[in-house]
Amino acid sequence: MNKILITGGAGFIGSHVVRLFVNKYPNINIYNLDKLTYAGNLMNLTDIEQKENYHFVKGDIVDAAFVNELFEKEQFDAVIHLAAESHVDRSIENPLDFVMTNIIGTVNLLNAAKKIWKPVLGATMTDKRFYHVSTDEVYGSLGETGMFTETTAYDPHSPYSASKASSDHFVRAYGDTYGLPVVISNCSNNYGPYHFPEKLIPLCINNIKNNKPLPIYGKGENVRDWLFVEDHARAIDVVFHSAKNNSTYNIGGHNEWKNIDVIRLLCKIMDKKLGHADGTSEQLITFVKDRAGHDLRYAIDSTKLQNELGWKPSLQFEEGLEKTVDWYLTNEEWLERVTSGAYQDYYNKQYAH
């Protein structure tokens, strides 16, 4: 494979995947297609933007004509699709944005790949790959026990997870109906550097720094299964290279935490790093109105990925969270530019001439 298209590469996870692929595969041209919505930040990629095998394309996956033209011109060998509207709270406010990007955008990419690769149903295509990066939220919510496996029935509850579930179904349908060489992975909650500070962990890091309240929805009893983002990027590399067509892998850290416990641990780490007395940051915890339709618990069983493809998470949560805090405290300029909105000028300064 000579040319890989990564969509959403200016976002949180996408930027880690782009960095990994650009550095690890210098002979493969990596194209990063991103609309640069509020969540897209080219400052996530300043360390690799000059590399010869890195190419940035600004564009909207909802624009079918643009997507088709790009595929015709570049003749990509593979797609790793991460572009999405990703924030559950925003999906509750504005579901249509999620329908457009997550469903229509995905179908546009599938159509464009089908057009240039010309798959034949029943014939195995080994030199092309359409890899769709998805979420554990498609499986819905767990009670006190059990875990999501690859065969758990889909039961999405939020407009975000409904849109991701729909896109997963379209990807499988293109495999089953047209023979498109598709692969899907469903991952649990990521955390780490370059995480946009609307999501729980970076929001609270930023708020502790600025002595602002830490908003915990409901009683903070909801459970998430946290994975360090670089471990997710490594898993994507493994699945991309080793999975069979039409397969699905769950990716997760076997690392369940109640939200309130995550924030208490974060407060402890922040107090230590900022030289504050133990207990200082916890005083900022504020219980607020619960998220509508808030899923109680996610837990991913990634046994299939670990047994079949040999991937496993590398970091314990305490270690990963400390590393994350260190990154945010060291990269104050990144955080300042994100919170002030200045990051959105970077494309014009660096690329648009």
Rule CB under 6 A: is residue 298 a binding residue for ligand DAU? yes
**Residue nearest ligand NAD, CB atom distance:** 11
194 is catalytic: no
Rule CB under 6 A: is residue 224 a binding residue for ligand DAU? yes
Pick the binder of ligand NAD from 36, 200, 236, 266 (CB under 6 A): 36
Pick the binder of ligand NAD from 190, 222, 281, 324 (CB under 6 A): 190
Strand order in the sheet with 247-251: 54-58, 29-34, 3-7, 78-81, 129-135, 182-187, 247-251
Dist CA 118 CA 23 (whole Å): 31
Quote the strand ranges of 219-330, DSSP E. 223-225, 227-228, 247-251, 256-258, 285-288
83 binds, among ligand DAU, ligand NAD, none (CB under 5 to 8 A by kind): ligand NAD
Rule CB under 6 A: is residue 66 a binding residue for ligand NAD? no
Pick the binder of ligand NAD from 5, 6, 8, 88 (CB under 6 A): 8
Rule CB under 6 A: is residue 189 a binding residue for ligand DAU? yes
136 is catalytic: yes
> Do strands 78-81 and 214-217 pair parallel, antiparallel, or not at all (unpaired)?
unpaired
Residue with tokens 């033209």: 69
Q: How big is the site for ligand NAD, counted in residues (CB under 6 A)?
A: 31
Segment near ligand DAU (CB under 6 A); pick from 37-45, 214-222, 227-235, 236-244: 214-222
Q: Which long-range contacts (CB under 8 A, 24 or more apart) does 144-151 make?
A: 144/297, 146/299, 147/299, 147/300, 147/301, 148/186, 148/250, 148/298, 148/299, 148/300, 148/301, 149/250, 149/301, 149/303, 149/304, 150/186, 150/248, 150/249, 150/250, 150/304
Burial 297-313, CB ≥16 within 10 A → b, else e: bbbbbbebbbeebebeb
Residues between 133 and 162 that touch ligand DAU (CB under 6 A): 135-137
Determine whether 151 is exposed, middle or buried from the number of CB atoms within 10 Å of its CB (0-12, 13-18, 19+): exposed
Rule CB under 6 A: is residue 224 a binding residue for ligand NAD? no
Per-residue x/- track, 272-311, ligand NAD (CB under 6 A): ----------------------------------------
235 binds, among ligand DAU, ligand NAD, none (CB under 5 to 8 A by kind): none
Rule CB under 6 A: is residue 236 a binding residue for ligand NAD? no
List the end-to-end C-alpha distance of the chain, in Å, as a whole number.
31
Closest CA to 32 of 82, 92, 106: 82
Closest CA to 143 of 221, 207, 226: 221
**Whole-number minimum distance, CB 323 to ligand DAU, in Å?**
18
Dist CA 29 CA 3 (whole Å): 5
72 is catalytic: no
Pick the binder of ligand NAD from 19, 35, 234, 297 (CB under 6 A): 35
Segment near ligand NAD (CB under 6 A); pick from 186-194, 260-268, 285-293, 295-303: 186-194
Kindly compute the dihedral angle of the four CA atoms of residues 12, 7, 110, 185, in this order, to the nearest 10 degrees. -40
Toward ligand DAU, which CB reaches closer, 225 or 322? Answer: 225
Q: How big is the site for ligand DAU, counted in residues (CB under 6 A)?
A: 19
Which candidate in 54, 131, 139, 160 is catalytic? 160
- 285 forms beta bridges with 214
Which candidate in 85, 136, 168, 295 is catalytic? 136
Q: Return the amino acid letter for 24.
A: K
Contacts to ligand NAD by CB under 6 A:
7-8, 10-14, 34-37, 39-40, 60-62, 82-86, 101, 105, 133-135, 164, 187, 189-190, 196
Contacts to ligand DAU by CB under 6 A:
86-88, 135-137, 188-189, 199-200, 203, 215-217, 222, 224, 259, 291, 298
Catalytic residues: 136-137, 160
